[in-house]
A and B are shown apart, each in its own frame.
Chain A
């Protein structure tokens, strides 16, 4: 199993541009999550999904959108990128809402 795969690894955006961060898992996990990690800070939950077709907001959802059309994929969309969205983004998955999380290796995004 590849586990949780995130692409791209790095990206630089100009203010106002948009992009999609990809996340795929091959463990057949129903639960998937998007976190951001700012320098010197803990992880903050952006969005999560409990299964295909079901998504909901986390702690810091503003400026982001998600979709979950399949069990495997959980892309995160940034519209109108802002410098405040400069961060490292992690995708995670789990078998249940209380199960240990499996993380990808992150996407490092810079907005200038």
Chain B
């Protein structure tokens, strides 16, 4: 599975959109992009995933570039409770969770 690169930390003002970038320049055509987050002292929480089309759910939006070499997770109206470490992971479509590579993620601080 391809590796990902994320900035170690970011800040965002409460109520504004938080845009978290992820670089996955070696991604293959059959690899999905997954996003999880980990709020302090809790287990990771699944947010969203996508292959090539943009995706949106009740938590966030995922924008994947046309060449699929990078993506952005968007939290449209960040709240203090969104302060967490955000992990971007790629996974082969026919691979499995056993092969996931968990990096260090981006530590997002939402400020009042």
**Could you tell me which A residues sit within 8 Å of B by CB distance?**
4, 31, 33, 35, 40-45, 48, 58, 90, 92, 94, 97-106
Show the binding face of B for A, using Cβ within 8 Å. Answer: 34, 36, 41-46, 49, 87, 91, 93-98, 100-105
Bound complex: CA A97 to CA B36 (Å): 17
The answer to whether B104 and A42 have CB atoms under 8 Å apart is yes
From A44, A99, A100, residue with most partner B Cβ within 10 Å:
A100
Dominant secondary structure at the B interface = loop
Interfacial chain A residues near B34, Cβ < 8 Å: 100
Would A98 and B97 be within 8 Å (CB), given that A4-B43, A106-B42 are in contact?
Answer: yes
Cβ–Cβ contact A100 & B46, under 8 A: yes
Give Cα distance in the complex from A10 to B62, angstroms.
35
